[in-house]
A and B are shown apart, each in its own frame.
Chain A
Amino acid sequence: EAQVTQNPRYLITVTGKKLTVTCSQNMNHEYMSWYRQDPGLGLRQIYYSMNVEVTDKGDVPEGYKVSRKEKRNFPLILESPSPNQTSLYFCASSLSGNWAEAFFGQGTRLTVV
Chain B
Amino acid sequence: AQSVSQHNHHVILSEAASLELGCNYSYGGTVNLFWYVQYPGQHLQLLLKYFSGDPLVKGIKGFEAEFIKSKFSFNLRKPSVQWSDTAEYFCAVNAFGNEKLTFGTGTRLTIIP
**Assuming A40-B9, A42-B90, A102-B46, is B51 touching A35 (CB within 8 A)?**
no
Question: Contact at A42–B101, with CB atoms within 8 Å?
Answer: no
Q: Does B43 contact A (CB under 8 A)?
A: yes
Within 8 A of A (CB), among B66-88: none
Q: Does A74 contact B (CB under 8 A)?
A: no
Question: Contact at B49–A100, with CB atoms within 8 Å?
Answer: yes
Question: Contact at A42–B103, with CB atoms within 8 Å?
Answer: yes
Q: Does A98 contact B (CB under 8 A)?
A: yes
Question: Contact at B32–A99, with CB atoms within 8 Å?
Answer: yes
In the complex, chain A residues whose CB is within 8 Å of the CB of B22: none
Number of residue pairs across A and B with beta carbons under 8 Å? Answer: 55
- In the complex, which of the residues B6, B45, B101, B104 contacts A99, with contact meaning CB atoms closer than 8 Å? B101
Describe B's contact surface by its main secondary structure: loop
In the complex, chain B residues whose CB is within 8 Å of the CB of A45: 100-103
Q: Does B25 contact A (CB under 8 A)?
A: no
- In the complex, which of the residues A33, A40, A50, A107 contacts B101, with contact meaning CB atoms closer than 8 Å? A33
Interface size of A by Cβ–Cβ distance < 8 Å?
Answer: 25
Q: Does A111 contact B (CB under 8 A)?
A: no
**Assuming A42-B90, A99-B94, A100-B32, is B102 touching A90 (CB within 8 A)?**
no
Interface residues on B, range: 20 to 34
Q: Does A104 contact B (CB under 8 A)?
A: yes
- In the complex, which of the residues A35, A44, A48 contacts B99, with contact meaning CB atoms closer than 8 Å? A48
Within 8 A of B (CB), among A1-60: 31, 33, 35, 40-45, 48, 50, 58-59
Question: Contact at B43–A44, with CB atoms within 8 Å?
Answer: no
Q: Does B35 contact A (CB under 8 A)?
A: no
Question: Contact at A42–B100, with CB atoms within 8 Å?
Answer: no
Q: Does A67 contact B (CB under 8 A)?
A: no
Question: Contact at A40–B99, with CB atoms within 8 Å?
Answer: no
* Contact sample, A vs B, 11 pairs, CB 8 Å cutoff: A40-B9, A41-B105, A42-B90, A42-B106, A43-B44, A43-B90, A90-B43, A99-B34, A100-B49, A104-B45, A106-B42
